[in-house]
């Protein structure tokens, strides 16, 4: 049974996201995909979808929509009030929305990005193996606009009977582990120390490309130019202004400023929920020796 989703209110930035694109970084194509991957997968599991089905990712102020067929809907990620036909319904559980009923996902109480899964998934065409919107590369569907209609896939799985899913609100202070390298030797010893002991603040300029962190200026040990090199998700890059940028899913695939440490999964997922002003503490570890 196919259907479609009509956007009644798009919210600040609502995009279609799945698990993102793999194997195309050598063409300059970022991974993209849901920033909070576990929340996206949970939403899909709740409505009986495959874990990697496409969902909506909202930014701070939710989204309102109407479905033209009876479908289950689940909202996860940043906790937000959810109503169906003006009735408050549970956050983090599958609820049935009848054809024509208004589904409203409100402003997040905490965190940034809520995930809205609809049974059957959002069935826009896949580009390079993913339905994700990639803002940097301009791939995938445009960010949602009022009046837009998105196709829904066939419902496949049964909606599991779940009464309660525990979830924790995004933390007020982020503690992120990171592995030093590949270019930690580009920083002075004092700045490397600062990376670990300073309190960093999430800047309002943060987006799906990266979390910009504000704090003491990190100094380079030398000013030789680095040739561009590949960068991975979670890279902490230090541009000339000395304020680190933590790369998220839409980051460029190469960069010319030193990456001094890398935040691993799963710590990177909670970055998706860090509001501007959030305090971040970095906990660098040394990488296992690669000598051999």
Answer yes or no whether residue 292 interacts with another protein by CB under 8 A: yes
Answer yes or no whether residue 270 interacts with another protein by CB under 8 A: no
In the complex, what is the shortest distance from the CB of residue 243 to another protein, in angstroms, rounded to a whole number? Answer: 11
Question: Which has the closest alpha carbon to 78: 157, 140, 145, 171?
Answer: 171
Answer yes or no whether residue 229 interacts with another protein by CB under 8 A: yes
Number of residues engaging another protein in binding (CB under 8 A)? 51
Query: Is the bond preceding residue 266 a cis peptide, omega within 30 degrees?
Result: yes
Binding residue for another protein, selected from 91, 200, 257, 269, defined by CB under 8 A: 257
In the complex, what is the shortest distance from the CB of residue 252 to another protein, in angstroms, rounded to a whole number? Answer: 5
Answer yes or no whether residue 222 interacts with another protein by CB under 8 A: no
Binding residue for another protein, selected from 235, 270, 274, 278, defined by CB under 8 A: 235
Answer yes or no whether residue 196 interacts with another protein by CB under 8 A: no
Contact by Cβ (8 Å): 48, 118: no
Looking at the Cβ atoms of 204 and 256, the one nearer to another protein is: 256
Looking at the Cβ atoms of 27 and 90, the one nearer to another protein is: 27
Question: Which has the closest alpha carbon to 244: 201, 277, 278?
Answer: 201
- d(Cα 222, Cα 45) in Å, to the nearest integer? 49
Q: Enumerate residues 6+ apart whose C-beta is below 8 A from 16.
A: 54, 55, 56, 57, 122, 124, 131, 132, 133, 140, 141, 144, 150
| Positions in 11-50 near another protein (CB under 8 A) | 22-30
- d(Cα 22, Cα 31) in Å, to the nearest integer? 6
Residues at the contact surface with another protein, assessed by CB under 8 A: 22-30, 127-128, 136-139, 179-183, 209-210, 225, 227-232, 234-235, 237, 239, 245, 247, 251-257, 259, 262-264, 287-290, 292
């Amino acid at each position: 049974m196919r259907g479609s989703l009509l956007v009644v209110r798009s919210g600040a930035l609502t995009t279609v996201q799945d698990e993102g694109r793999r194997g195309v970084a050598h063409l300059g194509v970022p991974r993209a995909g849901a920033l909070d991957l576990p929340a996206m997968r949970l939403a899909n599991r709740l409505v009986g979808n495959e874990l990697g089905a496409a969902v909506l990712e909202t930014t701070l102020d939710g989204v309102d929509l109407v479905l033209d067929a009876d479908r289950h809907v689940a909202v996860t990620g940043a906790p937000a009030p959810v109503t169906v036909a003006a009735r408050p319904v549970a956050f983090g559980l599958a609820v049935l929305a009848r054809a024509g009923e208004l589904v409203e996902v409100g402003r997040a109480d905490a965190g940034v990005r809520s995930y809205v899964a609809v049974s059957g998934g959002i069935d826009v065409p896949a580009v390079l193996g993913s339905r994700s919107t990639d803002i940097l590369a301009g791939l995938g569907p445009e960010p949602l606009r009022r009046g837009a209609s998105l196709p829904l896939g066939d419902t496949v799985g049964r909606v599991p009977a779940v009464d309660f899913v525990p979830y924790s609100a995004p933390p007020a202070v982020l503690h992120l582990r990171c592995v030093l390298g590949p270019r930690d030797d580009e920083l002075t010893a004092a700045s490397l120390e600062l990376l670990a002991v300073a309190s960093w603040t999430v800047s309002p300029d943060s987006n799906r490309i990266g979390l910009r962190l504000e704090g003491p200026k990190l100094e380079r040990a030398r000013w030789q130019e680095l040739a561009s090199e590949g960068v991975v998700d979670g890279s902490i890059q230090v541009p000339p202004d000395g304020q680190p940028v933590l790369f998220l899913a839409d980051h460029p695939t190469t960069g010319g400023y030193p990456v001094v440490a890398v935040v691993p999964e799963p710590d990177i997922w909670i970055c998706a929920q860090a509001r501007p002003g959030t305090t971040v503490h970095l906990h660098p570890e040394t990488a296992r020796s690669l000598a051999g």
